Amino acid sequence: MKDYKTTSHTVYDCKYHIVWITKYRYKILKDEIWEKTRELLREIAIRNEMRIYSWSINRDHVHMLISIPPNISVSKAVQILKWTSSRKLFENYPELKKRYWRQHLWARWYWVCSSWNVTDEVWKNYIDNQKVDEPDDDFRVM
């Protein structure tokens, strides 16, 4: 699965497996909020030229196999994904402000691993096995 991406001066294939959790591991990512989170993360990734290969949004955490352009550091990419999605979710769901009174939806930490030493298929299978049983209207990421 070598589908290299290009910029004006770069040819790259930088994939990372990233995991982050909701603050206090509250299980808030369900139903309507789950769908909105999925939609927001997809939009944020596209807007920042990131490509999602596989993902799983569970009740209290997110797994992603994502390609990040070399001009964006991994920490900056995670910051963009978490901060923007958090801000938009608080705007759309005021009831979240009661649970997260300081408006920090995501925990501060995240886990990341470059995928160079594991095949993409292994990562995809692992992430697919993390999914909860939710109707997904046959949505496919790339």
Question: Catalytic site residues?
Answer: 126
First to last CA, the chain: 12
In DSSP notation, 104-116 reads --B-S--EEEEST
Contact partners, residue 140, CB within 8 Å, separation at least 6: none
The pair of structure tokens assigned to 107 is 């925990």
